[in-house]
Structure 1
Amino acid sequence: MRLCVVFCPARGGFGPGTRQMTGFCPGRWLMLLALRLLFLVPAGEPVGRSESNFPKAMDNVTVRQGENAVLRCSIDSGVTRVAWLNRSSILYAGKDKWSLDPRVVIVTNSQTEYSIQIVGVDVYDEGPYTCSVQTHNHPRTSRVHIIVQVPPKIVNISSSVSVNEGSNVTLMCLAIGRPEPTVTWRHLSPPVAAAGRRGLESQDRRAKQVTVRDFVEDEYFEITGITKKQAGEYECSAYNEVSIADVRKVEVIVNYPPYIPSTKNVGVAVGREGILQCEAAAVPPPDFEWYKEERRLLNGLNGIQIKKNGDRSMLTFFNVSEEDYGNYTCVAVNKLGTSNTSVLLFDRGAVLDGNNSASGGMTASLWLLVILFVHFLFKF
């Protein structure tokens, strides 16, 4: 006589409330074996070949992560036993719950439908589920496959970076989601300095052309020999059809030496106020120095003022004298290099007097021609 271990129902059914006992093999052991054969290894014809009076359950249930999934199984009055299984585990057998997962609940148990619900679906809930039905004739099965969709999420992205012009830069953006999200990079409007905008454009036209990729569909965005025009914010976007895109931004700072696009000479009369200006585009922002011939000018000496405002430097003469006229040199400096330009301060009054003298000379010559013409007419 053989000794075996069986699980007897605590309240007339099979479920998590069973208790373990040891003894001779009774008829209940045969019942449990029959249930396991029926529910754990369901027999019957493949899905799609069932009889017309037992429609199969839905093929796929697509649900977003965190939402609820309802698995429905259509039955009829000829059903004697019914159960829901997940792979090799019984979730429900009739009204008895076998699953220890509190998220799995029965929602419909009628003569026409046997349905369960999984609350707050997660990715590990994805997979096949089987509705196994015992009829008067033989078992039937119908399968459902849960597909879990996950919104896109960027999990790793490059930090903002500062590089020198001409360096190689690689930006990384890794994202997860189901289905797998598409990752794209986009270069937003670069912050070109207003002072050097026209000058930088003309300089870039003379320089070797560099292809700027404004839109890249890849997790990695590689920039070879980066230029000042490629500085600014880069936007990474991860998108799938589940929800709106997850968007993050990275700032790329491109350091380059000063460039002074143009300056204007200034004419001021003696005794008036005169201002020489010098603008330079550079990253990091430049410092400025002013020279007259070989002599460096200092702020506050000899009635002048040197003031810096961002990328602009102003040399102010509060009371221009004859000695102030001449050529001045502006030097812009940062850690990557220097640039200089010349600015002329000239006597505007002298120019005006010269123009008046020239105008008077032309008037006298014109009168002389008129007199000669009249004399010529009277002679004939």
Structure 2
Amino acid sequence: MTVTEGGTANLTCRVEYNDNTSLQWSNPAQQTLFFGDKKALRDNRIELVHASWSELTISISDVTLSDEGMYTCSLFTMPVRTAKAYLTVLGVPEKPEIDGLMKPAMEGDHITLTCITQGSKPAADLRWFRNEKEIKGAKEVNASGKTFTVRSSLQLHVDRNDDGVAYTCKVDHVALTQTPQQATEVLEVHYAPRVEIIHSLAVPQEGQYLKLECMSKGNPPPDPVMWTKDGGELPDLDRMIVEGRELTFTSLNKTDNGTYRCEASNHLGTSSAEYVLYVYDVPTTLPPSTTPPLHPIPPDPTALLGTHASDPTVTGNRDPNAVGQHGTDHALIGGVVAVVVFVTLCLIIVLGRYLARHKVWQTYIHYDLPNVNKSTLRKWGSNCSLQCNALNP
């Protein structure tokens, strides 16, 4: 039978035919535990459960690894009859411990986490988890008497994505019938900040409200942030309000045009991002046009304005002036297209009339001057109408 360390083992011996001879239990060291209902070994953990001529049952509580082995039940007849039972004791692994964690770790560090558990029999299995996802470690098993010490190592190249991640080492073993033993460590990673500017308007116009938010991520948190315009201080603090990470313009005007810079830093470094602001005129309503309606391609608002960061990882820079100039030239482009269409129509009408007249002239020659030589007509050229009138009044 198999018993977990610390549990209770019940040993039962039965005989079908007995001539009133007592049964006896002895341990692996051949020490008599009970002879009939008489206790032979002074061990408070061993107790009599049931004794009769046909059965002898004893119990061993708080089983230890030293209790493992072959137990013998004997009936002292001639010859002596015996039956044997092997008791297997499972060693319960201790709660694991994680070593090698640096608090805090720095981005770019190489660290080794080691999970250790002792006292398992047979050898336990160790499993690593990054949050809820299982990852593989390097396992090592060493025997220590009847039990085993198991180690598992995990190699990490630390980056900012490891900040706040829980690394868990779980012990799987046959003696752990309920929840497995486990240990968890949360990794703290310090890294330099990265900055990005978020703006509330795609196409800022005069008189509008605009909010710029400086999104900075770093550990330790880079707080506060610093706003500048064109390399200097903000010029108009009455309309430009700085609250924490936000820069707010209550009413935009042309004097606000420029490059706004947000800068954040901690003890590991400094990062910044820039936003180029171009304030557009408020659009006016144009009078109805008599020309056919045109459908120019509308400008992409996301291309009008953008931010760019000094950090090489921040992308998406855009020139705010490029599309804005096209937007202001739409009326001029429409007028040019209308003129081109009108000139084209005039040319088509003139060409049509020319072709029609040419056809009539050919018919006139065919019916009214049948006797004129064709080579003579070709010599007349453009004066054909005059010559024809002279020959055939």
Is this a same-fold pair by TM over 0.5? yes
Q: Structure 1 residues 321 and 357, CA, compared in 2 at 3 Å: closer, same or farther?
A: closer
Counterparts of 2:108 and 2:10, CA distance in 1: 58
CA contact (8 A) 1:263 1:341 kept: no
Deviations 1:264-317 (A, max 9, x none): 69642222211123323322222322111232459x934323344xxxx32111
Q: Structure 1 residues 283 and 356, CA, compared in 2 at 3 Å: closer, same or farther?
A: closer
Tell me the SS of whatever aligns to 1:147: strand
Q: Does 1:114 align with 2:56?
A: yes
Question: Shift in Å at residue 330 of structure 1?
Answer: 1.4
Q: Does 1:272 align with 2:208?
A: yes
Counterparts of 2:72 and 2:266, CA distance in 1: 72
Aligned residue in 1 for 2:8: 68
Among candidates 321, 324, 328, match of residue 256 of structure 2: 324
Aligned residue in 2 for 1:291: 228
Deviations 1:339-380 (A, max 9, x none): 112111211327798556422112222232233233324433
Question: Shift in Å at residue 326 of structure 1?
Answer: 0.5
Counterparts of 2:254 and 2:196, CA distance in 1: 29
Deviations 1:131-179 (A, max 9, x none): 23321x2444443332122444414334683200122222232224333
Aligned residue in 2 for 1:167: 109
Counterparts in 2 of 1:95-114, with a 5 A limit? 95-114=37-56
Tell me the SS of whatever aligns to 1:365: helix
CA contact (8 A) 1:73 1:114 kept: yes
171-180 or 331-340: bigger deviation: 171-180
Q: Structure 1 residues 278 and 262, CA, compared in 2 at 3 Å: closer, same or farther?
A: closer
Question: Shift in Å at residue 239 of structure 1?
Answer: 0.5
Amino acid at match of 1:187: R
Counterparts of 2:167 and 2:36, CA distance in 1: 57
Aligned residue in 2 for 1:282: 218
Q: Does 1:260 align with 2:200?
A: no
Amino acid at match of 2:173: N
CA contact (8 A) 2:136 2:154 kept: no
CA contact (8 A) 1:73 1:115 kept: yes
151-160 or 241-250: bigger deviation: 151-160
Tell me the SS of whatever aligns to 2:187: strand
CA contact (8 A) 1:172 1:220 kept: yes
Counterparts in 2 of 1:1-380, with a 5 A limit? 61-75=1-15, 76-78=17-19, 80-86=21-27, 87-135=29-77, 137-158=78-99, 161-176=103-118, 177-188=120-131, 214-216=135-137, 218=139, 219-231=151-163, 232-242=165-175, 243=177, 244-260=179-195, 267-287=203-223, 288-297=225-234, 301-308=237-244, 313-349=245-281, 357-379=328-350, 380=353
Gap regions ≥5 residues in structure 1: 1-60, 191-212
Deviations 1:310-334 (A, max 9, x none): xxx3211122233222101111211
Tell me the SS of whatever aligns to 1:372: helix
Amino acid at match of 1:367: A
Question: Shift in Å at residue 233 of structure 1?
Answer: 0.9
Tell me the SS of whatever aligns to 1:154: coil
Aligned residue in 2 for 1:206: none
166-175 or 72-81: bigger deviation: 72-81
CA contact (8 A) 1:289 1:296 kept: no
Tell me the SS of whatever aligns to 2:7: coil
Amino acid at match of 2:229: K
CA contact (8 A) 2:197 2:262 kept: no
Counterparts of 2:344 and 2:212, CA distance in 1: 51
Count of equivalent residues:
292
CA contact (8 A) 2:71 2:87 kept: yes
Counterparts of 1:326 and 1:154, CA distance in 2: 62
**Which structure has greater strand proportion?**
1
Amino acid at match of 2:217: A
Counterparts of 2:107 and 2:206, CA distance in 1: 45
Counterparts of 1:353 and 1:334, CA distance in 2: 38
Counterparts of 2:228 and 2:132, CA distance in 1: 37
Amino acid at match of 2:230: E
269-278 or 125-134: bigger deviation: 125-134
Aligned residue in 2 for 1:53: none
Counterparts of 2:233 and 2:153, CA distance in 1: 47
Amino acid at match of 1:236: C
Counterparts of 1:256 and 1:356, CA distance in 2: 43
CA contact (8 A) 1:67 1:120 kept: yes
Q: Larger Rg: 1 or 2?
A: 2
Counterparts of 1:286 and 1:187, CA distance in 2: 27
